[in-house]
Amino acid sequence: MTTEEIQKALKSKGFDPGPIDGVRGRRTIAAIMEFQTKNNLEVDGIVGPLTAAKLFAGEPAPTETVVPSTQPWMTEALRLVGVKEDMSAASNPLIIGWGKRLGIGYGNDEIPWCGLFVAHCVGSQLPGEPMPNNPLGARNWSRLGIECEPQLGAVLVFWRESKASGKGHVGFYVAEDNKAFHVLGGNQNNAVNVKRVGKDRLLNVRWPKNAPAPTGKRRFANSTGQLSENEA
């Protein structure tokens, strides 16, 4: 089901999700939680199978999507594919705004922003999820939620330059091949996109503790494209 379908269903039942724009923002999350409260469902702001059954009761089944509705952070990440940093002396206000909304001090998109991208996607879609200290530091995402196996939506933490450098990269698992993970991340060639990152660079795999439990299902893809080697 799409976010727009969820918003329309909420609206039709008297719960205000804000604009019907397909964006899972805080008003939409609040409306989902209000609906769950009124229907004696687990109040987590996620339209899982039980919430969907109530929300779409008596209506045609909504269309399927590649990303499960239980992974709203991935839906948001995919929505932002193509966002680029400003290559002039200025900064992209969209990227700067991610930090402002989360209370993270970030004022220049020349500063590596892969951690900020993950913070925006997780923080905006799972408002109750504890963020790691200094989420701008990619390796700090090793302390998010719980450890899990690589799978769609998991947060992958990598070293950058060398294991001893203290530098890192972080993004979301999309798929994998024999040599690399296909990572949806920010600040990959200065943009949000999917790049292949070598499996030998992996440090940790994490999952938000306030999200439905990970399934463990891995996704395999063709080995194409060069490996990403430096995401600064």
Q: Is pLDDT of 27 > 70?
A: yes
Q: What pLDDT band is residue 63 in, cutting at 50, 70 and 90?
A: very low
Q: Is 137 exposed, middle or buried (0-12, 13-18, 19+ CB in 10 A)?
A: middle
Q: Is pLDDT of 61 > 60?
A: no
Radius of gyration of the chain (CA): 18
Contacts of 85 (CB under 8 A, 6+ apart): 91, 92, 95, 109, 110, 113, 187, 190, 191
pTM: 0.75
The DSSP letter of residue 174 is: E
Q: Edge-to-edge strands of the sheet including 155-159? A: 146-147, 202-207, 155-159, 168-176, 180-188, 191-198, 227-228
Q: Which candidate, 153, 202, 144, places its Cα nearest to that of 175?
A: 153
Q: Is pLDDT of 62 > 60?
A: no
Contacts of 207 (CB under 8 A, 6+ apart): 144, 145, 146, 147, 148, 153, 154, 155, 214
Residue 182, amino acid: H
> What would the mean pLDDT of 153-165 be, rounded to a whole number?
96
Q: What pLDDT does 135 receive?
A: 96
CA 88 to CA 119: how far, in whole Å? Answer: 24
CA distances (Å), 16 to each of 8, 27, 87, 101, in order? 9, 8, 39, 22
Domains of the chain: 3-55 (no CATH), 82-228 (3.90.1720)
Residue 121, token pair as written in the block: 């996607």
Q: What pLDDT band is residue 143 in, cutting at 50, 70 and 90?
A: very high
* 201-214 pLDDT tens trace: 999 999 999 999 99
Q: What pLDDT does 58 receive?
A: 58
* 99-137 pLDDT tens trace: 999 999 898 989 999 999 999 999 999 999 999 999 999
Q: What pLDDT does 89 receive?
A: 84
Q: What pLDDT band is residue 57 in, cutting at 50, 70 and 90?
A: confident
Q: What average pLDDT does the chain have?
A: 89
Q: For residue 36, what is the enclosing H or E element?
A: helix 26-38
CA 45 to CA 179: how far, in whole Å? Answer: 36
Q: How far apart are the first and last CA of the chain?
A: 35
- For tokens 């590649």, what's the residue? 66
